[in-house]
Amino acid sequence: MRLLFSIILTLNLLQAQSIDQLVRQSLKKHPSLKTIQHRLLAMDEHIEKSQKWENPDLSLTINDIQFRKPLGRSEERMQYHAINFKQKFPWFGKLAARKTYTKEQKHVVLHNYETARVQLALQIRTTAYTIKELEARISVLHRYRQLAKQNIKLYTDMISTDNMSHADSIASKLSLSRIEIQQERYRSLLRSQKEKLAYLVQKPIKNINNKLHIKRPGSLKYYLNRLSHNPAYHMKLSQNRVADANKVLVDMELHPDPYVKIGYFNRPDFPDYASVTVGMSLPLYGTERLNSEIARKEVLSSVSASLDYKTFLKSEIRANYARLKEAYHIYNIIQRKSLPQLKHMLELSASAIEEGADLFTYTNILEQKLALEEESITMKAEYQRTKAKLNALIGEL
C-alpha cells in the first residue's frame, strides 16, 4: 500500500508545474497575444503603404455629341475623343512625415503587446495563488472536520453522565455542518479558479508545486525607481509621439500637393493635339488651420494623459505596497502572538476537561483557531498576489 501511495505521489509531483513554467508556456501560445502579434506584423505593410503615392486618375472624354446626329464625329473641329491621365505629387516632406507617423503607431502596438504579456502573467500568478489558497483552506478544514467528529463522539459518550453534554453535542454537530458547508464553497471556488487558469495557460492544470510563503517586503523605493519600466506607461509616451507626428503631418496639409494632368485629344478629320495641366487645391476656407489646431490640442491631451498615468502608477505602487506590508504584519501577529496564545488556551481547556469541565469552551477555542489559521493562509496568498501586482506595475513578468 505504501509503495502504491509513493508511486501516485511521485506521478503527481512529476505532473505538477511551477507558476513560472505556466507563465512561460502561456506567453508562447496564448491566442490573445497572437492577435496583437498579427497586428504588429501588419504594421510593416502599413509603413510600406505610407510611402506610396495616390493612385492616378485615368479618364476618357467624348466631346461635342450632336443630338441630331449622335454618332457623327466629323461635323466640326470641336468634336474630339480624349484620354486624360492625372497624378498628384506629394511634397514638402509628406512621405517622410507619413512614415514617421506610421512607425510611431507601430511602437504603440508593440508596447500594447508588452502590456498584454505583463497582464497575462499577472492573471496567471494571481489565479494560481488563489488556487493554492483554496487548497490550503480545504486542507485545514479537513483537519478540523476530523476534530469536530471526534468531539461529537466524545459528547455522545458523555450524554449518559452529563445532562449538559446533549446540548454540547448538538452545538458540535452544528459546528461540523458549518465546516462542511465552507468546504463545499471552497471546492466550488477551486473548480472555478482551475477553469480560469486552464484558459489562461491553454491547458488543464492538476497541480501547482509552488508553496505559499511570506518574507519581509523590499523597499518602496525599489518599486518607485522602476516605475518607468511599465509597458503601459511606455505606450502612453508612444501615443504622445503619435500625436506629435500627426501634428507635423496635419501642418503639412497647409501646403497642398500639386498635380499634373496630361490629355491626348483625337479628332477624326483634323490634327490631333495634347494638353498639359498643372494645378493644386486652394486652402481658402481655413479647414487646414482648424485641423492643425485640433492636432495641437490632441498633443496637449496626450501629454496630460501620460502625466496622469505616471501619477496613477505612483499611487498604485504606494497603495499596493501598503497592502503588502499589511499582509506581512498581520501574518506575523497571527503566527507569533495569536496562535501561540490559542494553543496555550487549548492546553488549559484540555486540562479543565480532565477535571470535569464541559467541552463547549474547548470547541469554541478550536473554532477561533480555525478562523486564525484560515486568516493566516489568506495573508500569505494576499501577500503573493500583491507582490505579483507590484511586479507587474514595474513591467516584470
pTM of the model: 0.83
Question: What is the residue-wise DSSP string for 59-127?
Answer: EEEE----TTSTT---SSTT--EEEEEEEE---TTHHHHHHHHHHHHHHHHHHHHHHHHHHHHHHHHHH
Whether 171 has a pLDDT exceeding 80, the answer reads: no
**Contact assessment for residue 196 and residue 127, using Cβ atoms and an 8 Å cutoff:** yes
**Contact assessment for residue 152 and residue 172, using Cβ atoms and an 8 Å cutoff:** yes
Cell numbers at 105, concatenated: 503607431
Q: What pLDDT does 352 receive? A: 65
Largest Cα separation within the chain, whole Å, is 134
pLDDT band at 261 (very low <50, low <70, confident <90, very high): very high
CB contact set of 78 (below 8 Å; sequence gap of 6+): 63, 64
Q: What pLDDT does 75 receive? A: 62
Cα–Cα distance measured from residue 332 to residue 343, given in angstroms and rounded to the nearest whole number = 16
> Quick one: DSSP state of residue 56?
P
Q: How far apart are the first and last CA of the chain?
A: 43
What is the number of other CB atoms lying within 10 angstroms of the CB of residue 143? 12
Average pLDDT over every residue of 31-36 = 90
Q: What pLDDT does 372 receive? A: 87
> Quick one: DSSP state of residue 52?
P
The region of weakest confidence among 84-98, 177-191, 284-298, 359-373 is 359-373
3-state secondary structure of 58: strand
In the chain, what percentage of residues exceed pLDDT 90? 47
Q: Dihedral of CA 305/311/314/320: which sign?
A: negative
Give tens-digit pLDDT for 192-203: 999 999 999 988
Give tens-digit pLDDT for 132-158: 999 999 988 888 777 777 766 666 665
Return the higher-pLDDT residue of 356 and 120.
120
Cα–Cα distance measured from residue 280 to residue 286, given in angstroms and rounded to the nearest whole number = 16
Q: What pLDDT does 285 receive? A: 87
Q: What pLDDT does 112 receive? A: 93
Domain 16-65+92-393 = CATH 1.20.1600.10? yes
Average pLDDT over every residue of 47-59 = 91
Average pLDDT over every residue of 127-135 = 93
Q: In which element (H, E) is residue 189 found?
A: helix 164-201
**Contact assessment for residue 300 and residue 317, using Cβ atoms and an 8 Å cutoff:** no
**Contact assessment for residue 137 and residue 375, using Cβ atoms and an 8 Å cutoff:** no
Which of 7-16, 29-38, 367-376 shows the highest mean pLDDT?
Answer: 29-38
Q: What is the mean pLDDT of the chain?
A: 84
Return the higher-pLDDT residue of 365 and 357.
365
Give tens-digit pLDDT for 203-260: 888 888 888 888 898 899 999 999 999 999 999 999 999 999 999 999 998 888 899 9
CB contact set of 34 (below 8 Å; sequence gap of 6+): none
Q: What pLDDT does 301 receive? A: 94
What are the backbone angles phi and psi of residue 208, rounded to the nearest 5°? Answer: -120, 125
Whether 31 has a pLDDT exceeding 70, the answer reads: yes
